[in-house]
Every structure is written in structure tokens, then in C-alpha cells.
Amino acid sequence: MIAEQHDPRIPDLPFEDISDPSQCGIPIQWGTDEPAWLNGIYEGELIQPIVLLYDSHLRLDINGEAPHGSEVTIILFQENPVTDYYMVEVKGAGKPIKGWIPAPLLSFKPVAALDET
């Protein structure tokens, strides 16, 4: 079972996630330079003040992290039956921070800093 393979630091998500990895789509190039932002708020509740970036859509390991509101560049998109995923790179990070995030944690509009929410 996949859940048994997860890094114990990986939190549960408050939304439905990958239920059958064999049904997941193939990642494709995003193709635009449209800006995006990490959004740690889901349904009005702060769930990740520091948004975690994962090794894949299976969320077995954490590749990196960045604060809620960080601007990112989208590299890849993966359409899935339940929750879509994006491969992003955090802009302005000293060293490259890349990883996959579930669609509910990505915004195409700037998000307010936590002290402004």
C-alpha cells in the first residue's frame, strides 16, 4: 500500500487525493510563463503555512518547502482522475527548490501574506 511508503513527515490532506496511481496521467510541459503562487489555505483554513513540495504525485517524500504566498514557475502539469498535480520551481530561492504540489495548493492569483490574512 502506498500510504505505508510515505515519509512520516507527510501530512494528510483535507481534500481527496490520488486513490489509484495506475489511473494517473502522464506529466506534460506546462507551456506558458503565467505566474503562480503557493497557497497554503484550503476552504478558508490555513493548512500549510509552509507549503511542501513532493517527489511526485504519490507524495512519498518531501523535495522542498516554501512559505505560503511564494511565487513559483510551473514546469509540468499532470492531470489525474481525482487531484491534478503541478511540478513547480520556487522563484527567488537561493538554491533551486522544485517539487510537485496538488492543485488545491496552487493559485493563479497572488495570495495575501499570512500577516495580511
pLDDT digits (tens, 9 = 90+) for 63-100: 999 999 999 999 999 999 899 999 999 998 889 999 99
The reported pLDDT for the residue numbered 15 is: 93
**Residue 20, domain member (yes or no):** no
With contact defined as beta carbons under 8 Å apart, do 63 and 54 qualify?
yes
In a domain, 96, yes or no: yes
Q: Cα–Cα–Cα angle for 81, 47, 57, nearest 5°?
A: 30
Residue 34 placed within a domain: yes
Residue 115 lies in a domain: no
pLDDT > 90 in the chain, percent: 69
Average pLDDT, the chain: 90
The CATH number for 62's domain is 2.30.30
- For 43, the domain range is 2-7+29-109
Contact in structure between 76 and 43 (CB atoms under 8 Å): no
Residue 43: per-residue pLDDT: 95
- Encode pLDDT of 30-73 as tens digits: 989 899 999 999 999 999 999 999 999 999 999 999 999 999 99
- What is the total count of domains within the chain? 1
Residue 71 lies in a domain: yes
Instruction: For residue 67, tell me if it sits in a domain.
Output: yes
